[in-house]
Structure 1
């Protein structure tokens, strides 16, 4: 596992002491070091029901998570074991074993509810472990699922969660697996064989009637059906019928286990390995260990403060941290690649800007990959500003290296000339022509020096300007020349200097134009990659909404089959509301894109002023591609 401390055994992740939940810093450090996507499997259930044994099997071990042989609960809080995923490359399997629910020694069940809620929030597959059968008593013990809407908020709005909004929990909640242990019944209904999944669905059928007792009995059934549309059931025989061996199951050899139990356990593990999905937040945001650890910190901190975790706020808080890190990661990549790819000094500014464009594109791509929910493109603008500043720094560095290189060469080549001037070598008749010959030889030798960089002409021009006064003096004191020849030479000298200055100015204008063009390319690349990312995010949201819609449609069909027409009609209203929201979102797409593009464009033009001068031709074309 990349960036993961090898874990030979589980470690307590969330401690439950003195009715207070705290995150174990050592375990958090391990979790946040994981940069790969995580598949998170959490198991909950009443104490002494064999949860830890199942988790050890998922880890491929007999021992690891503590197995208790007494009536006391062994696991306190939430324990974590991070392992390479056996079937998904570049993924990490995170197993979470929770303390047993309903432990009579605890006295207060408040933390049971929070442990249950945390297991739901952290996992991508949630396993509920129970004993013997799925009956009325087993469902009564699932009262924790009925408390989820009181323990968790989706939106930060102070308004109470409306019934039709409860479907949004589906976007955050995991897949659901019910594991029934020590199952002794026949899988039959009315004499016909059924599958474990059919057994679960039969147990979740609603009871008809309006009596308060019936409504209370239906509540956990409705919550499971509403919050966990993807459900799976596994039944397990008793692992071994020898009570002495049963108390030390971690030491039992594979050959001593009941064949049926071995087969059932293998099927369970195979299903989890093949079907348990990576942890994904609402909107298709992939979660790695680092993100999961940050979310856990936010949840536990909120619970400890006596407040209710808000998923929207937790994700936004995570986005602030992640987006800031994404900016730094992208900027670091840009600097490293520029330093690696730019061969200082470059012959032209365009040579450097071509590398800049390539490295900038990569940096923006890295930012897009690691960022999410960048409200108003705040962090993208920050990256643009950083890259523009870094680019300017590389341009200055390139110019400074070129200038220093050229000055060094000219100092070396002109050494004999300066010595001759000091000695008065040219203060004789015919001295001016001798001076010109020496100067032209220096220029020719300088021009032949390779890799002088983009400041070669400018430094040469400044060098010649530094000799101008001396040259004029030598010209005027040369007695071999007539006054007319001196005048002509002086005029020629001034003309050549003016032309060189003009060429230098033109070169500077070209460089300014190239820089503006680079800013234009930067602008366009940011817009294109932003458009691509937002389209991907929008498609993920639509997929999520369609999944919710599909789940509601199936639940409505089932309610009609069970004869609950009023509930089916209410479900129909919820679906109509959701479809209306989806249609509104689609109809607003074009205007929303235009508004978002306009706001982002304005921000970019402040950061990239050169782009604003060239942007007119490209903006309309870019705008059209968002419609």
Structure 2
């Protein structure tokens, strides 16, 4: 179980070395592959030696774990990961990512700093930026990596189709995490113009833009504009110094009573917020990421970066969808197979009984598939699910018939033992023997029908049994001295008529079973089409909600800009918002058509699969 994932210490998720560059570590992927729960991914970034690891250890509920170090050297290299049970969300795993300190002067080559920052953003659902002192221009300059995001991430693989199309950066918010600025060793009073302000208000004050068009003003505004644009959901926490300077080198060993009480309270408040408010990691459309998928996502991004290509967000989601949908098919088929094996008591009394059981198990398997599947490429995978489930169902039907056949054969073998002895003793080779034989055989048939649990082949096996005695019956009929030639002819005709009627009854039963199977298949397809429609409608609603949220963020930012007197920037944002609103309207109508097309595609794929497998049904 994912909840039993035990990591006593963190492991390196993405290694960063001068010789190999960025590499995903297989031992970390192995840990993530076992986590099938949704993950809440909290990552921290910032300059090296600013105490990032201490906060992450506290979020893990531990004093030790991520390396703190005690010198001016950077300890954390690459991105390190610690997976722990989520303290506030049952059924979720908290994944903590501690990143290599930015701006380490010992590295010499700092090209990977930006990629570490980009990966931290793309993998997390909450991003913590850790800095010291105050949020001043120096702190903003140290966060210059955010300005480079537009050069290192793209939304779509295809270039813009027209000049009116929005820049990729306008929609980065769909993929980006919530943002927390943690200010360490904060010594100022939280007030503006003599009025006390909150930590969040302090951050917003620091993010205010300067008026003017000079190069200096543009540099001042650039990082602030990026933060406001990319991270509309943001929060701030300030922390006093945790202890006196001489004790900082052994911070993780200090008892609670040796740590600054104010700092302890601030850390508790910070941890409570992160635990309670940090959302699960998702990708656009509301698809929740599990630990296994997080590992796949990290691998996709790192391999893209290593190949020299800028990571494409939509391509990464498509690659993830391929993996998730294939896994969803496999799990759903396994669930169906397990449920049928647990619940099916073979042989069943009728085909209908087995089909009803199949319907229940298929429904549960379909629900599992829909819960895990991404809408991207879902039709082909759902068609594959239908095909695989149908194969398993066909095997259960075959096994059901075989179980019934074997049980009925065994029953007739036991019931006919007395008659077999009479035949071998010549009891029926006398005058009146045919009538005696027919009476004994009728009594055997009546006992046979009284036996319970014979299953779907009861008629067919009995017909085989009676057919196997055809020659014997004719021989006894011919040797019965008490019958005239005319009697023999009448008995023979009656015998043939009975056998023909029995054969017709068996054929009618077989055809009825085939009709039931066809009706069940059609029912199954209708249910699959209905569930696909519900899934796509749900995904589209989430997509539209995300779009509306993006519009609300833009409108809110526009109002702030107008209030602060930045009319030109507000007008530009109004144009962006208008295009988003137009896009929202066209998207809503387009999605309805798209859903109908996807349902038709599914039914078309299924028809092709079964047209060649069972042509007599069509």
Q: Which residue number in structure 1 is paired with residue 86 of structure 2? A: 85
Gaps of 5+ in 2: none
Q: Which residue number in structure 1 is paired with residue 281 of structure 2? A: 279
Q: Which residue number in structure 1 is paired with residue 11 of structure 2? A: 11
Superposed CA deviations along residues 148-186 of structure 1, whole A, max 9, x for unmatched, are: 121112211145996543222111100000011111122
Of 356-365 and 256-265, more deviation after overlay is shown by 256-265
**Aligned equivalents of 1:589 and 1:313: distance in 2?**
20
Of 247-256 and 361-370, more deviation after overlay is shown by 247-256
Contact 1:559 1:565 in 2 (8 A): yes
Match of 2:193 among 184, 190, 194: 190
- Cα drift, residue 587 of structure 1: 2.1
For residues 384-463 of structure 1, the aligned pairs below 5 Å read 384-422=386-424, 424-463=426-465
Q: Which residue number in structure 2 is paired with residue 329 of structure 1? A: 331
- Shift in CA distance, 31/285, structure 1 to aligned 2, threshold 3 Å: same
**Aligned equivalents of 2:271 and 2:614: distance in 1?**
57
**Aligned equivalents of 1:589 and 1:258: distance in 2?**
56
Superposed CA deviations along residues 465-518 of structure 1, whole A, max 9, x for unmatched, are: 121122123212322111221122122212211221221121112111111111
Matched, 1:574 2:576: yes
Secondary structure at 2:2's aligned position in 1?
A: coil
Q: Which residue number in structure 1 is paired with residue 43 of structure 2? A: 42
**Aligned equivalents of 2:573 and 2:616: distance in 1?**
55
Secondary structure at 2:41's aligned position in 1?
A: strand
Of 494-503 and 92-101, more deviation after overlay is shown by 494-503
RMSD: 2.0
- Cα drift, residue 74 of structure 1: 1.0
Contact 2:380 2:605 in 1 (8 A): no
- Cα drift, residue 63 of structure 1: 2.0
Contact 1:2 1:35 in 2 (8 A): yes
- Shift in CA distance, 3/305, structure 1 to aligned 2, threshold 3 Å: farther
Q: Which residue number in structure 1 is paired with residue 57 of structure 2? A: 56
Matched, 1:176 2:201: no
Secondary structure at 2:130's aligned position in 1?
A: strand
Gaps of 5+ in 1: 616-627
Contact 1:384 1:607 in 2 (8 A): no
For residues 211-230 of structure 1, the aligned pairs below 5 Å read 211-230=214-233
**Aligned equivalents of 2:592 and 2:73: distance in 1?**
61
Contact 2:5 2:84 in 1 (8 A): no
Matched, 1:294 2:325: no
Contact 2:297 2:320 in 1 (8 A): yes
Q: Which runs of 4+ in 1 moved over 6 A?
A: 610-615
Q: Which residue number in structure 2 is paired with residue 315 of structure 1? A: 317
- Cα drift, residue 529 of structure 1: 0.9
**Aligned equivalents of 1:76 and 1:282: distance in 2?**
30
Superposed CA deviations along residues 550-573 of structure 1, whole A, max 9, x for unmatched, are: 100011111111222121111111
**Aligned equivalents of 2:607 and 2:173: distance in 1?**
41
Q: Which residue number in structure 1 is paired with residue 553 of structure 2? A: 551
Secondary structure at 2:366's aligned position in 1?
A: helix
**Aligned equivalents of 2:343 and 2:583: distance in 1?**
49
Secondary structure at 1:40's aligned position in 2?
A: strand
Secondary structure at 1:486's aligned position in 2?
A: helix
Q: Which residue number in structure 2 is paired with residue 565 of structure 1? A: 567
Question: TM-score scaled to structure 2, two decimals?
Answer: 0.96
Q: Which residue number in structure 2 is paired with residue 597 of structure 1? A: 599
Contact 1:37 1:288 in 2 (8 A): yes
Number of aligned residue pairs: 614
Q: Which residue number in structure 2 is paired with residue 618 of structure 1? A: none
- Cα drift, residue 445 of structure 1: 2.3
Contact 1:381 1:604 in 2 (8 A): yes
- Cα drift, residue 260 of structure 1: 1.8
Of 153-162 and 571-580, more deviation after overlay is shown by 153-162
Contact 1:346 1:352 in 2 (8 A): yes
